[in-house]
């Protein structure tokens, strides 16, 4: 479904499955998928429905101090029994494996914690403020960002940020560069907001996309992620050293000797250093 190098042999675009089905599958990703599926199934049994509900993101975060919901909600399967839920798990597998391979375990989990908790705080704050302005706090269920939906938003945003020029088949039909999936995620979330009026959930998805984009850009751990903080620091250090040498040259009358690549002979050709 994507190709990191769109120009294949003879200049043709080669579109394959996201990461394919070969190669090792990260154990961490298998655990995530297993937990999402298990909690999804448990919600349909009376004996376990209450336990699953306590792990979802709800206003009980501030009403009763259930702060663990800020971290547990994305791993609790959400929705009704349908083929779409299985398709969502497949999408999580496709994107999650590439993201894990690019970030490795430490940054993978740091990104998840950073994006999920940050997004939950944004959504909870919006719901709390909305409730206070209307005279009471409602029991919104944050539909748009519950369970695997939040994980999908994070994994797709991470992949799209690190592999901007990859080609992805939207709905398995339309070839689109990965960079546009950041905007598409926001668009799809907005369409969901129009249907559900779930403003906290919509803003939570927007926050997840933004936080994930920021983490990938800042860490620079995934290939294709663009300029890293280390590269930026080195550029600034080089610029500062050049300015310092220039000031010293002006103060003390130093003469800067050009390197071999810059020094030219009288006939215009590049020559050896001149001392």
Looking at residue 122, its pLDDT comes to 93
For residues 243 and 181, the answer to whether their CB atoms sit within 8 Å is: no
Does some domain include residue 268? no
Q: In the prediction, which pLDDT does 38 show?
A: 95
pLDDT at 269 exceeding the cut of 80 = no
Burial class (CB in 10 A: 0-12, 13-18, 19+), 243: exposed
- Higher pLDDT among residues 133 and 234, named by residue: 133
The residue-averaged pLDDT of 168-189 equals 73
Give the number of domains in the chain: 1
Residue 7 is assigned to a structural domain of this protein: yes
What range does the domain containing 61 cover?
Answer: 2-219
CATH number of the CATH domain containing 196: 1.20.1540.10
How far apart are the C-alpha atoms of 96 and 99, rounded to whole Å?
5
**Cα angle 200-161-94, degrees, rounded to a multiple of 5:** 85
Average pLDDT, the chain: 76
2 pLDDT above the threshold of 60:
no
Alpha-carbon gap, residue 120 to 208, rounded angstroms? 9
Q: Is residue 30 part of a domain?
A: yes
**Residue at 66 is within a domain:** yes
Q: What is the pLDDT of residue 258?
A: 52
Q: Is residue 226 part of a domain?
A: no
**Residue 204 · residue 120 · CB < 8 Å:** yes
CA atoms within 13 A on the CB side of 268: 0
| pLDDT of 183 | 83
**240 lies in a domain?**
no
- CB count in 10 Å sphere of residue 41: 13
pLDDT band at 252 (very low <50, low <70, confident <90, very high): low
Q: What is the pLDDT of residues 109-133, one digit of tens each?
A: 999 999 999 999 999 998 888 777 7
Q: Which of 72-81, 134-143, 156-165, 184-193 has the lowest mean pLDDT?
A: 134-143
């Amino acid at each position: 479904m994507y190709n990191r190098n769109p120009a294949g042999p003879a200049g043709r675009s080669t579109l394959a499955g996201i990461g394919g089905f070969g190669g090792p599958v990260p154990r961490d990703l298998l655990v995530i998928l297993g937990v999402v599926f298990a909690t999804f199934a448990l919600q349909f049994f009376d004996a376990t429905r209450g336990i699953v509900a306590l792990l979802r993101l709800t206003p009980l975060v501030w009403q009763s101090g259930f702060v663990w919901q800020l971290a547990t909600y994305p791993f609790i399967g959400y929705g009704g029994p349908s083929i779409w839920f299985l398709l969502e798990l497949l999408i999580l597998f496709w994107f999650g494996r590439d993201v894990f391979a690019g970030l490795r375990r430490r940054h993978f989990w740091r990104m998840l914690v950073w994006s999920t908790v940050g997004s939950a705080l944004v959504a909870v704050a919006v719901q709390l403020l909305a409730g206070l302005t209307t005279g009471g706090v409602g029991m919104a269920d944050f539909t748009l960002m519950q369970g695997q939906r939040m994980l999908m938003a994070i994994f797709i945003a991470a992949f799209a940020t690190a592999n901007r020029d990859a080609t992805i088949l939207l709905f398995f039909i339309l070839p689109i560069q990965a960079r546009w999936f950041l905007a598409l995620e926001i668009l799809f979330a907005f369409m969901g907001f129009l249907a559900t009026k779930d403003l906290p959930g919509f803003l939570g998805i927007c926050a997840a996309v933004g936080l994930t984009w920021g983490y990938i850009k800042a860490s620079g751990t995934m290939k294709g992620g663009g300029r890293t903080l280390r590269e930026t620091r080195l550029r600034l250090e080089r610029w500062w050293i050049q300015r310092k040498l220039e000031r010293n040259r002006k103060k003390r009358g130093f003469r800067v000797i050009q390197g071999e690549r810059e020094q030219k002979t009288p006939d215009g050709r590049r020559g050896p250093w001149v001392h």
